[in-house]
Amino acid sequence: MNKTITLILIVLVSAFSFSASAQNREIIEDSLDMTPGYANDIFYSMTDGEVASVARAGWDLGFYTNAFSAGIIINEGNGVQLFSYPNSDTSGWASFDTTGMMSWQSLSNSNEYWEDGAFNRTSTGHPDYGWGVYNMVTHGLTGDSLYLINIPNVGYKKLWIVDKVSVDNIYHLRFADINGDNEENVELDIKPFTSKNFAYYSMANNELIDREPSDAWDILFTKYIDITYDNEGNPAEYLVTGVTSNINTAASKFTEVSQDFDDWTAKPMDSLKNTIGYDWKYFDMGTFQWTVDDSTVFFVMGNSGDVFKLVFTEWQGSTTGKFSFYKEMVSATSISDIASVNENITVYPNPANDVVNIRMEESLNGDLAIFDITGKLVYTESLLNSTIVSVDVSAFDKGLYFITLTGDNKKESAKFIIN
């Protein structure tokens, strides 16, 4: 094994094996306010606390900012609805007919993966990404589907994601009233937003919106559609208020444990969007109050690389939108030193399933190493004047992984997720 990679592995393993002693740990109590009706989203850092509180209203579509992504979400937390048009492909734009629309397929964002948005839910796999088909020559996508979208305070519109010019990170959209009036043909340049997860777009105002904070955040308190179950265990999609994890945040959930439970290594963390979720609280019809489950404990590894225990203590409900919790750091790591965000590396697709591509802005002579979330080295490869590397990850477990590239007197790093 290359000495440089061996050293990195030793640092990682050492870092992960260090836990702050119980005597020295600080318990931090925090209270947040989503405002009445849960109208605001709160971006939160486990290390630094609240990063930003932003109104959820004002945007309708969100475009995943990676140039090689096809991910498009809707603002389901603000009541945006999306329906797949069943009567034709894009050739039926002029004859769009809403007869029987109550039976059309309703599309929502994935409750597990950010990049799998409502527009991607009908994907059949590469090269079909739901709203469009990938072109292996241009690396762009051409829209092949029509949609009906319902926007609060605007109403129903027909919508066509015409294409994505991936090399320029530009989308083209067409939307209009059902009868064809008020048609808009829009070009959206996503490049100014690539430091964020999404570029947000208001169809009502024909405006791209910068609403994600620039500062690092780990979890988001918001409204989203998740799977809920009735008394007989039947699943259904339902709008909930809870916690979603940032794209590269890992978390784990332990139930039926006491609040002094600290063994965060007892099971692997995962990078699902809804690991923390919403069901650590419930409405007690006997007392007519919200009750927080006192036997549920979460552990979160965010941008800093430190692991925090998270325990919710109060949920006041929609009247005030206020809630409380406490957190404490249970493991201090140095993984952030080698896994920070790096604009010199593009990793795609991210999340990945079978293959992950690692593209470098400059050619590299050196070594590639991939570590899992425990610090274990799972892959290594020597590189010779390389600018792009494809790695077969089909045998990797699901979860968060860290890439290091060393050589030419420099070290680069990145993260990716395996679904």
Q: CA–CA separation, 40 vs 37, rounded Å?
A: 8
What integer pLDDT is reported at residue 347 of this predicted model? Answer: 85
Nearest residue to 130 via CA among 139, 117, 113:
117
Report all structural domains of the chain as residue ranges with CATH numbers, in order of start.
3-15+336-418 (2.60.40.3080), 19-55+215-332 (no CATH), 61-209 (no CATH)
Banded pLDDT at 333 (limits 50, 70, 90): low
| Non-local CB neighbours of 160 within 8 Å, separated by 6+ positions | 90, 93, 143, 145, 146, 147, 173, 174, 175
DSSP 171-211: EEEEEE-TTS-S-EEEEEE-GGGTTSSEEEEETTTTEEE--
pLDDT digits (tens, 9 = 90+) for 53-102: 999 999 999 999 999 899 999 999 999 999 999 999 999 999 999 999 99
Q: Is 238 left (phi over 0), alpha (psi -120 to 50) or beta?
A: beta
Banded pLDDT at 238 (limits 50, 70, 90): very high
Higher pLDDT, 128 or 267: 128
CA dist 310 → 32, 260, 262 (Å): 14, 11, 10
Question: Both tokens of residue 320?
Answer: 């005030």
Q: CA–CA separation, 286 vs 354, rounded Å?
A: 49
What integer pLDDT is reported at residue 6 of this predicted model? Answer: 33
What integer pLDDT is reported at residue 343 of this predicted model? Answer: 63
pLDDT digits (tens, 9 = 90+) for 138-158: 999 999 999 999 999 999 999
Q: Are strands 170-176 and 184-189 parallel, antiparallel or unpaired?
A: antiparallel
**11 has pLDDT over 80:** no
Q: Are strands 250-255 and 345-348 parallel, antiparallel or unpaired?
A: unpaired
Q: How many residues are given for the chain? A: 419
Beta-carbon neighbour count of residue 244 at 10 Å? Answer: 24
pLDDT digits (tens, 9 = 90+) for 380-403: 998 888 888 899 998 888 778 889
Structural contact between residues 299 and 268, judged by C-beta atoms closer than 8 angstroms: no
Please confirm whether the linkage preceding 351 is cis (ω < 30° from 0): yes
Q: Mean pLDDT, to the nearest integer, of 183-192?
A: 97
Nearest residue to 372 via CA among 271, 266, 262:
271
Q: CA–CA separation, 419 vs 407, rounded Å?
A: 30
Banded pLDDT at 24 (limits 50, 70, 90): low
Q: Are strands 81-84 and 147-151 parallel, antiparallel or unpaired?
A: antiparallel
In sequence order, the β-bridge partners of residue 33 are 322
**357 has pLDDT over 90:** no
Q: CA–CA separation, 348 vs 66, rounded Å?
A: 8
What integer pLDDT is reported at residue 408 of this predicted model? Answer: 74
Question: Which stretch of 7-21, 82-96, 405-419 has the lowest confidence by average pLDDT?
Answer: 7-21
Q: CA–CA separation, 68 vs 138, rounded Å?
A: 11
Q: CA–CA separation, 329 vs 310, rounded Å?
A: 9
Q: What is the mean pLDDT of the chain?
A: 88
What integer pLDDT is reported at residue 308 of this predicted model? Answer: 95
Question: Both tokens of residue 376?
Answer: 């274990």
| Alpha carbon of residue 47 to chain centroid | 19
DSSP 232-293: T--EEEEEEEEEEE-TT-EEEEEES--TT---GGGS--B--TTSSBSTTEEEETTTTEEEE-
Question: What share of the chain in percent tops pLDDT 70?
Answer: 91
pLDDT digits (tens, 9 = 90+) for 281-290: 999 999 999 9
Burial class of residue 191 (count of CB atoms within 10 Å of its CB; 0-12, 13-18, 19+): exposed
Reduce the secondary structure of 51-120 to three states and give it as a string. EEEEECCCCCEEEECCCCCCCEEECHHHCCEEEECCCCCHHHCCCCCCCCHHHCCEECCCCCCCCCCHHH
